[in-house]
Amino acid sequence: MASTILELDDIQSGVLRPRPTPYAATYVLFRIDERKAGRELMLRLSSVVSSAAHPVSPAGDTWVSVALTFQGLKALGVPQASLDSFSPQFQQGMAARAKFLGDRGESGPENWEKPLGSPEVHVVLTAIAPDAERLEAAMERARKTYRELRGVTAIWRQDCHVRPDEKEAFGFRDGIGHPAIEGTGVPGSNPNESPLKAGEFVLGYPDEMADMPPIPQPEILGRNGSYVVFRKLHQRVAAFRRYLRENASSPEAEELLAAKMMGRWRSGAPLALCPLHDDPALGADSGRNNAFLFKQDDAVGYKTPCGSHIRRMNPRDADVAGVVRIHRMIRRGTSYGPSLPQGVLEDDGVERGLMFAFVGAHLGRQFEFVQSEWMNDSTFFAGASGKDPVAGAQEGTGVFDIPKRPLRTRLQNLPQFVVTRGGEYGFLPGLRALRWLAELKT
């Protein structure tokens, strides 16, 4: 039991605490040109970042998280021996991992929005508030603080939001499934999944392999920290709608096809619990909408196709190579850009999509594994060929199987609906670590 007593007062609240709904969020990236100024920024941020132990934010109704990239730690003057102790994927950065992640062609780093993926990105600040007005007021106060800090420059900002119905740009309710984590007191969304070891998400604690995963050194820097993955994902909403229209014979059949691709109806209701029709009340009921497994009554995927987005991203108890519990993630998706008006099937050229954040202690076996093997590998799920039909790195020739009696349906020529606009790997230090960074003397 001792191993699951988490030092919640040293862990950034953004790591563990679920976000409110609805909310407005912003991501601001900083470049550190002078390490002294960077350290001063760490000091100032350490006083506004709340811990997972305290439900009240020092910044009032705005919640702030701060992450550093590998280049950011370097810019702060973190000693080489310490830099070397971070995970190899983090040291390389997301752009260098592009091939492995399926970021090719339009999604390739050479086409990313500047400065994403460049060595200029040092600090990622995330602020969330109940609405855009309150967020802007907090950002105005913050701007006054960082503008007077010569040697630190804000180089990019992305505003995002979560709507009251929590729907993302393709029209599906998001933010439903999340793991229970031992020692946090935050309940998981699936009563059939026993809580995961805290070391899967926070460094310094035993994980599901009964190991104490290696933590960045010195211990004061690594302990109670987590890795975080930021990705800006553009969604081709018109193309998604057209694909449904062209491959279904009626509006009802379009909805069923969309649900088969996602594994949930747009309301959030899972096919596993209501395979034949949508059930909006179930979709909105957080006590029931994630209470299911796959293997026992749907091994073949007649209800939830094995290749659908949610079944690939979390196969639960279904038979897949590997142990599902070591590939789980804390996931926070926030939409950006305006919605494409209902019924529009032509692209309006407007940028819209998801700012994704994944939090975990293992970049390699969590985000990178899920992205490369479960999302983009066509052989992983026996019987279900193709890549993820919603978010996979399709090349226009992909297929998606929908098991059905007497014969399965095979969708052909899946276009790419999601394009990577950029991203980075970050380290979310604990609060003591933030102060340690502020006090570096090198």
- With contacts defined by CB under 6 A, name the span among 44-52, 166-174, 196-204, 294-302 that binds ligand HEM: 166-174
Residue 170 touching ligand HEM (CB under 6 A): yes
CA-CA distance, 109 to 97, in Å (whole number)? 10
CA-CA distance, 390 to 387, in Å (whole number)? 9
Tally helices (H) and strands (E) across the chain: 15, 10
Smaller CB distance to ligand HEM: residue 223 or 236?
A: 236
Residue 309 touching ligand HEM (CB under 6 A): yes
User: Which of 27, 86, 90, 172 lies at the binding interface for ligand HEM (CB under 6 A)?
Assistant: 172
Q: How far is the CB of 31 from ligand HEM (least distance, A)?
A: 26
Kindly give, in sequence order, each residue whose CB lies less than 8 Å from that of residue 218, ignoring residues fewer than 6 positions away: 82
- With contacts defined by CB under 6 A, name the span among 41-49, 70-78, 250-258, 351-359 that binds ligand HEM: 351-359
Kindly give, in sequence order, each residue whose CB lies less than 8 Å from that of residue 142, ignoring residues fewer than 6 positions away: 48, 127
- Phi, psi for 32 (deg, rounded to 5): -105, 115
Q: Sort strands 398-402 and 409-414 into parallel, antiparallel or unpaired.
A: antiparallel
CA-CA distance, 370 to 376, in Å (whole number)? 8
Residue 426 touching ligand HEM (CB under 6 A): no
- With contacts defined by CB under 6 A, name the span among 64-72, 172-180, 239-247, 401-409 that binds ligand HEM: 172-180
CA-CA distance, 224 to 379, in Å (whole number)? 37
Smaller CB distance to ligand HEM: residue 204 or 386?
A: 386
Secondary structure element (H or E) that encloses residue 332, with its range:
strand 330-336
CA-CA distance, 54 to 7, in Å (whole number)? 12
* Binding track over 379-418 against ligand HEM, x by CB under 6 A: -----------xx--------------------------x
Residue 279 touching ligand HEM (CB under 6 A): no
Number of residues near ligand HEM (by CB under 6 A): 27
For ligand HEM, the binding residues in 311-350 under the rule CB under 6 A are 313-314, 329, 331
Binding site for ligand HEM (CB under 6 A): 168, 170, 172, 174-177, 233, 235, 262, 264, 309-310, 313-314, 329, 331, 353-354, 356, 367, 370-371, 375, 390-391, 418
